[in-house]
């Protein structure tokens, strides 16, 4: 086969793989929707139909991994049907694991194309900018982050694209196709839509209040002036499109009545909520450390340990102080309910309770707890895990790795010559670079990897089920791609690189030693010329 034929074959293979990936995204979108509703026959049918198409495409285009996952999803859905449409925690967990794997499958290292993971947006972002070269350059930069962007050079091209399919978001220049014409164009398009699209305006010059008011009336949710950089734009688009996690809520139910516990479990399972039930409250702390629930439901009156007593014991542990506790009891005395809530509880629900009421309460409380937890453990600038929580995650990962006999890699990254960036371009540009690398890592790494901001311009990544060589290959690819990103600046655009050190868990070392080894490998990378990835090498 000639070189030209080889290239043509690779492009065709890439095209087929992308079709499978797009169908996989459709399956994931249905799964994501199911996390916000009570599952029913119509939902299950939609999921099944989307998965059947994925399996058909995967088999036709020889995408083995997608085919295996689609068959797994099919088996799980058939198990639900065999269970008379009732979901169980094992089935929900199994489906979730399959979806997590599906969300990070893409072209693999064996392909000639770079490794990719499913980005959260299946639809493209439309770029309607006056400067076609700027639009193309921005689209290329966004593709580095794993998002598809489509530049459009005229109002006609914009209308044609809109008639073909709606985008994930629109980036519109105020003067696109004429002075102020972008405003009118966007407003006319939004008027025809039942569900408005995320709309972001751009102007080279600072604008007056009437222009910004016109943008708001056209449906603008953001207004950029001066320059557009990919990282800031993508960050805002992700917020506006409200990309949700695929991870279902987890609830621990503690009730000495097996019948009541089973009933509560079935109600929550019907809404896709993973549950674990306990009839022996004395086992609660062990289950908490193993299950990591988002919320706890306690019976008030149990023979060996009351619900309020157990709640106090749980609250004695710092790790569980913020986990919501809901009492579920037949107690209808308001004073006793209030007393119970004052004893380490967050809410009180009276039996019998309507399923919809229970599901809504659990979802609201669990979602709020997750958001609160995210604020407590995440860095405010990047949204990544903070230093303390990253080390906690590393210790947890080390324990799981030793228990399951699987490999674990830990990486430390440091932006090269960062002080020069701050000194030459100012701290706002430095913050932009830090946020850009954070977003780049989130887009390029798996959902099962933990990414933290270790401090300043330094980052850390915990990579479960990964050896050092594989981690080095993945992070070296990220390093090369990150170096291609340009940040608009004067007199010249800015580009940055990073150095990386990687260590692998081995022997009886703990998380602190693993972190120290990765730091030593980073030191080697820094003093070896920077812009490189080094693995820890123990001295013989």
Q: Under the phi-then-psi rule, with left for phi > 0, alpha for psi from -120 to 50, and beta for the rest, what region is 331? A: beta
CATH of the domain at 286: 3.40.50.2300
445 and 490 part of one domain: yes
Separation CA 257–CA 277 (nearest Å): 10
pLDDT at residue 107, as a whole number: 38
Domain boundary among 240, 274, 290: 240
Is 115 domain-assigned? Answer: no
The tens-digit pLDDT sequence of the chain (540 residues) is 454 445 454 555 555 677 787 788 788 878 877 776 677 777 788 889 989 999 998 888 888 888 999 999 999 888 888 877 677 778 887 888 888 778 766 433 333 333 333 444 457 899 999 988 888 888 877 776 667 889 999 999 999 999 888 888 899 999 998 988 999 999 888 888 877 888 999 998 888 888 889 888 888 888 988 877 666 777 677 667 654 445 788 999 988 888 888 898 888 888 888 889 888 888 888 888 778 899 999 888 888 788 788 888 888 887 788 889 988 877 777 777 777 677 777 788 877 888 889 998 999 898 888 878 777 788 878 878 899 889 988 988 898 888 888 899 999 999 999 999 989 888 888 888 898 898 888 878 887 889 999 988 999 999 999 999 999 999 999 999 889 888 877 777 888 999 999 999 988 788 899 999 999 999 999 999 999 999 988 654
353 and 426 part of one domain: no
Is 333 domain-assigned? Answer: yes
Is 169 domain-assigned? Answer: yes
SS (H, E, C) 446-504: CCCCEEEEEECCEEEEEEECCCHHHHHHHHHHHHHHHCCCCECCCCCCECCCEEEEEEE
pLDDT at residue 383, as a whole number: 78
395 and 496 part of one domain: yes
Picking from 198, 208, 202, the residue whose alpha carbon sits closest to that of residue 227 is 202
305 and 340 part of one domain: yes
Is 461 domain-assigned? Answer: yes
Picking from 221, 224, 210, the residue whose alpha carbon sits closest to that of residue 180 is 210
Is 540 domain-assigned? Answer: no
pLDDT at residue 145, as a whole number: 65
CATH of the domain at 450: 3.30.70.270
pLDDT at residue 109, as a whole number: 32
Tokens representing residue 537 in the block: 């090498």
DSSP state of 378: B
User: pTM to 2 decimals?
Assistant: 0.58
Is 117 domain-assigned? Answer: no
Residue-wise over 427-436: b if at least 16 C-beta within 10 A, else e?
eebbebbbbb
Separation CA 534–CA 540 (nearest Å): 18
- The residue range of the domain holding 231 is 125-240
Separation CA 347–CA 300 (nearest Å): 12
255 and 344 part of one domain: yes
**Using alpha carbons only, how large is the chain's radius of gyration in Å?**
26
Separation CA 362–CA 326 (nearest Å): 8
281 and 213 part of one domain: no
Strand-pairing partners, residue 494, are 487
pLDDT at residue 111, as a whole number: 33
Report strand pairing: 222-225 vs 169-173: unpaired
17 and 68 part of one domain: yes
DSSP state of 536: -
* Long-range CB contacts for residues 186-189, cutoff 8 Å, separation at least 24: 186/218, 186/219, 186/220, 187/217, 187/218, 187/219, 189/158, 189/159, 189/162
Q: Under the phi-then-psi rule, with left for phi > 0, alpha for psi from -120 to 50, and beta for the rest, what region is 108? A: beta
pLDDT at residue 418, as a whole number: 92
DSSP string, 159-228: HHHHHH---SEEEEETTTTSTTHHHHHHHHHHHT-SSPPPEEEEESS---HHHHHHHHHTT-SEEEES--
Separation CA 141–CA 128 (nearest Å): 16
pLDDT at residue 121, as a whole number: 44
Domain boundary among 344, 373, 402: 373
pLDDT at residue 26, as a whole number: 80
What's the number of domains the chain is made of? Answer: 4
Tokens representing residue 392 in the block: 């906690």
Domain boundary among 216, 240, 264: 240
């Amino acid at each position: 086969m000639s070189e030209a034929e080889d290239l043509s074959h690779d492009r065709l293979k890439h095209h087929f793989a992308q079709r499978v990936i797009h169908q996989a995204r459709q399956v994931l979108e249905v799964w994501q929707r199911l996390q916000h509703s009570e599952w029913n026959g119509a939902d299950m049918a939609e999921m099944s139909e989307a998965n059947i198409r994925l399996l058909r495409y995967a088999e036709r285009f020889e995408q083995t991994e997608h085919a295996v996952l689609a068959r797994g999803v099919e088996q799980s859905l058939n198990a639900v049907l065999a269970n008379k449409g009732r979901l169980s925690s094992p089935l929900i967990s199994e489906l979730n694991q399959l979806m997590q794997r599906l969300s990070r499958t893409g072209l693999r290292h064996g392909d000639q194309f770079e490794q990719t993971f499913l980005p959260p947006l299946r639809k493209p972002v439309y770029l309607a900018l006056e400067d076609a070269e700027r639009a193309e350059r921005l689209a290329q930069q966004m593709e580095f982050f794993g998002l598809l962007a489509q530049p459009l050079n005229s109002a006609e091209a914009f209308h044609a694209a809109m008639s073909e399919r709606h985008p994930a978001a629109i980036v519109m220049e105020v003067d696109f196709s004429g002075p102020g014409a972008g405003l009118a164009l966007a407003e006319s398009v939004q008027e025809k839509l039942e569900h408005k699209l995320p709309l972001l305006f751009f102007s080279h010059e600072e604008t007056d209040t009437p222009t910004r008011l016109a943008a708001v009336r056209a449906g603008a949710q953001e207004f950029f002036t001066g320059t557009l950089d990919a990282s800031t734009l993508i960050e805002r688009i992700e917020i506006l499109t409200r990309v949700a996690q695929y991870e279902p809520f987890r609830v621990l139910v503690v009730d000495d009545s097996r019948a009541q516990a089973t009933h509560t479990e079935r109600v929550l399972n019907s809404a896709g909520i993973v549950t674990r039930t306990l009839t022996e409250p004395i086992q609660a702390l062990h289950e908490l450390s193993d299950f990591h629930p988002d919320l706890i439901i306690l019976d008030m009156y149990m023979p060996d340990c009351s619900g309020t007593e157990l709640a106090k014991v749980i609250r004695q542990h710092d790790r569980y102080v913020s986990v919501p506790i809901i009492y579920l009891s037949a107690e209808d005395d308001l004073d006793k309910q209030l007393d119970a809530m004052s004893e380490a509880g967050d809410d009180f629900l009276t039996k019998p309770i309507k399923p919809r009421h229970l599901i809504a309460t659990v979802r609201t409380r669990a979602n709020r707890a997750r958001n609160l937890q995210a604020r407590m453990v995440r860095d405010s600038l990047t949204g990544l895990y903070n230093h303390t929580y990253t080390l906690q995650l590393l210790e947890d990962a080390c324990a799981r790795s030793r228990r399951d006999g699987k490999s674990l890699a830990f990486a430390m990254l440091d932006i090269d010559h960062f002080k020069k960036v701050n000194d030459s371009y100012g701290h706002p540009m430095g913050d932009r670079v830090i946020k850009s690398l954070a977003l780049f890592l989130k887009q390029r790494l798996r959902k099962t990897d933990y990414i933290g901001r270790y401090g300043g311009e330094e980052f850390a990544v915990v990579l479960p089920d990964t050896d050092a060589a594989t981690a080095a290959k993945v992070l070296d690819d990220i390093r090369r791609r990150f170096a291609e990103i340009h940040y608009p600046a004067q007199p010249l655009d800015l580009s940055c690189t990073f150095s990386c050190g990687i260590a692998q868990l081995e022997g009886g070392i703990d998380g602190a030693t693993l972190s120290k080894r990765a730091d030593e490998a980073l030191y080697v990378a820094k003093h070896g010329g920077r812009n490189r990835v080094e693995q820890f090498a123990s001295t013989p």
